[in-house]
Structure 1
Amino acid sequence: MTSVVTFKKSPEQIEKIRQQVRAIQEAEGLSQNQIAKEVGIHNSTFSKFMNGNGLADMNPVVNATERWLENRTRLAALPTAPSFIATPTANRIYDALSYAQLAGDMALIFGGAGVGKTQTLHHYAASEHNAWVVDCTPTSATVGGCLRAIAHALGLRMTAGRADALEVQIRDQLRGSGGLLILDEAQFLNNRALETVRRLAEMANVGLALVGNETVYAQLTGGSRAAEFAQLFSRIGKRVSLTKPSGGDVESLATAWKVDKASTRLLKEIADKPGALRGVTKALRLASMFARGADETLSDHHIKAAWAELGAMS
């Protein structure tokens, strides 16, 4: 069993660590509480360290903070995907969201995983006024769970009580906002939750976008439940079906990552496999690390190696 040996720092070294923390705090607008949480030190202890007083043994805090600084340096060196790429599919999603918000109407966006739905939703919400992404999960399937998820997305302070009181609170917050509620992974919501959201958006006169996989469309149109959702389905003003990434989507990613034609052809093959654009991005990120480690320009050779490393090629 090996143990980690740590050495005591001089007062000058400790002050240099404090200065690095302050520089990051100022540059990124981080609170001391946030940094303490990332470092893994209680805020009061971290505050004493940063103020330079009140700690009998400063060494554990110094070592933890130094590891945090080192990890941030390593993370900054990792290749990262562009935060948002305006692919043709992303533009279709964006247009549907914009229509729903401007018209106060309902949009249904559905399709397979890995085509860029969630990334586009969050980009829209960050770019436009009064658009909120509600992340649906199995725990938000019911009316109460769904309303709590919406309240969280709106930044409302929730108090214990009945679902109808929370519904009124949300409605009052939305009314007059000209906003858009975006429910991501809406296939998790049950019939009553979907109807509640539909009626809530209608009463508040805001747009509503239901986004999910193919299940959410089948849920509204197929089988014995179709009649239950007839009222909701008839109110959908725009439908966007996303089956798989287009060639233009892959080309947009290839351009953003600055890869050549041979690499783009390989990426299109990857995009046709399960994982779609998500698999493309993972392969590009790992391939960039391979290329950087070899001090080479990113090429299809690195992408093939990355795709194999991800377990997708023999």
Structure 2
Amino acid sequence: MEVVAESIDVVSRVRGLIEAGEASQSRVAKEAGVSTSALSQVLAGSYAADPARIVERLSAWMAAREERAAARLPQAPAFVPTPTAGRVVAALAYAQMAADVAVIYGAAGVGKTMAVQEYARTRPAVWVAVMTPGHAGVTAALEEVAAAVGVKDCPQSPARIHREIVARVRETGGLIVVDEAQHLSVAALDALRSIFDAAGVGLALVGNDLVYTRMTGGSRAAYLDRLFSRIGKRVSLRRAQDADIEAVAKAAGGEAWREVMEIGRQPGAIRAVVKVLRLARMMAQAAGEALAAAHVAAARRDLEGA
């Protein structure tokens, strides 16, 4: 059935975006919530059933796309080489070069993950496995590491997963980075230690204070002494430095106004600064004004629900 007359414009506009390279057909289908094959048939005018439902979703997708474009949502800054990021990168570089263990832990929102991602982007043979509460157990943690290093068709046995990971990374001069490592159980941390011993590559554990506490506190300390004793580099990040806040504020299009510095010294630190400045820039754009401290204060009140 042909697309009804009132829907021809929507289909034509979607087709034009795809032909112009502004969006791929698979991306449109995914974001609009329709199947790729159905979208292809509608665009070609060969859809056998009533296309009204698909056209309705495409229309909604177009409206949302235009709304985002009109809002001109400011982009968050890419990696900013702050002093804290420099400490993280230096620890990762040491762990990789020396085939040693580094533990990077401390406050949330100071840029640990961004620094890890930048290091992995700019260095060869660096694999990043991000843990969640669902990865606490040995098998789940090993499966995530296996996926990060490129092991296909991961076996179900923890021992076999261990062997596959070791075979994949041995003699690469590489580095396995485990982010959000505070979610791992003591047994899972010990499983990572075993991989480190067998593979001869660097290992970096990145997370909050629980990472270090779990390795040094109570009865667990004796159990993990074989991992703790292998740590060659420890980096404790208590809070964002003022120089970090200033650098991120500048990269986000703002300045180190008093309000910005106050935000950066609170929990969430750099992450909070980026979010507040992003909203402040939107407010300034909507008002046709240059970004100023007043916009930052207004954005902070809005985000805090004040």
TM-score, reference length from structure 2: 0.91
Is residue 214 from structure 1 mapped to residue 209 from structure 2 by the alignment?
yes
1:59-89 C-alpha deviation (Å, 9 max, x unpaired): 3323322332332343352112112111111
User: SS at 1:168's partner residue?
Assistant: helix
Within a 5 Å distance, the mapping from 1:141-152 to structure 2 comes to: 141-152=136-147
Q: 1:21 aligns with which of 8, 13, 18?
A: 18
Listed as ranges, the gaps of 5+ residues in structure 2 are none
Name the structure 1 match of 2:33: 40
The Cα shift of 1:242 comes to: 0.3
Tell me the distance in 1 between the aligned counterparts of 2:101 and 2:154. Answer: 29
Asked whether the 8 Å contact 2:110–2:239 carries over to 1, the reply is yes
RMSD: 2.1
Q: Give, as a single letter, the amino acid of the residue that structure 1 aligns with 2:237.
A: L
How far 1:42 moved relative to its partner? 1.6
2:88–2:112: 8 Å Cα contact kept in structure 1? yes
Q: What are the Cα deviations for residues 18-47 of structure 1, in whole angstroms up to 9, with x where unaligned? A: 121233xx456x5x3343122100222112
SS of the residue aligned with 1:8?
helix
**By how many angstroms is 1:267 displaced?**
0.9
Structure 2 CA distance for aligned equivalents of residues 302 and 34 of structure 1: 35
Separation in 2, partners of 1:184, 1:253: 22
Q: Tell me by how many angstroms 1:160 deviates.
A: 4.7
Gaps of 5+ in 1: 1-5
Could you say which residue in structure 1 is the equivalent of 2:118? 123
- Report whether the alignment pairs 1:299 with 2:256: no
Whether the aligned pair in 2 keeps the contact of 1:195 and 1:232 (CA below 8 Å) is yes
Q: Return the offset for 1:7.
A: 7.9
Alignment of 1:45-60 (within 5 A): 45-60=38-53
Match of 2:276 among 252, 271, 283: 283
CA–CA distance in structure 2, aligned partners of residues 260 and 124 of structure 1? 26
Supply the AA of the counterpart residue of 1:18: R
Cα distance in 2 for residues equivalent to 1:78 and 1:248:
26
Query: 1:223 maps to what in 2?
Result: 218
Cα–Cα, structure 1 residues 180 and 69, in superposed 2: closer, same or farther, change >3 Å?
Answer: farther
Query: Taking every aligned residue pair, what percent have the same amino acid on both sides?
Result: 41
Partner of 1:196: 191
Q: Which amino acid aligns with 1:221?
A: T
Q: Following the alignment from structure 1 to structure 2, what is the Cα–Cα distance between the partners of residues 48 and 202?
A: 55
| 8 Å Cα contact 1:8-1:59 kept in structure 2 | no
Aligned length: 301
Which is worse superposed, 164-173 or 240-249? 164-173
Go from structure 1 to structure 2 and tell me whether the alpha carbon gap of 1:176 and 1:69 turns closer, same or farther (over 3 Å shift). farther
Q: Per the alignment, do residues 58 and 259 of structure 1 end up closer, same or farther by CA in structure 2, a change over 3 Å counting?
A: same
2:93 aligned partner, one-letter code: S
Q: How far, CA to CA, are the matches of 1:185 and 1:7 in structure 2? A: 53
Shift of 1:123: 2.0
What one-letter code is carried by the residue in structure 2 that aligns with 1:19?
G
Deviation of 1:209 (Å): 0.3
1:3 counterpart residue number: none
Report the alpha carbon displacement of residue 194 of structure 1 after superposing the two structures with TM: 1.0
Q: Kindly provide the amino acid, as one letter, of the partner of residue 186 in structure 1.
A: A
SS at match of 1:227: helix
Q: Which letter maps to 2:209?
A: E
AA in 2 matched with 1:22: E
Shift of the 237–94 alpha-carbon distance from structure 1 to 2, 3 Å rule, reads: same
The one-letter code sitting in structure 1 at the alignment partner of 2:285 is R
Q: 1:142 to 1:14 in 2, by over 3 A?
A: closer
Residue 177 of structure 2 aligns to a residue in which SS?
Answer: strand
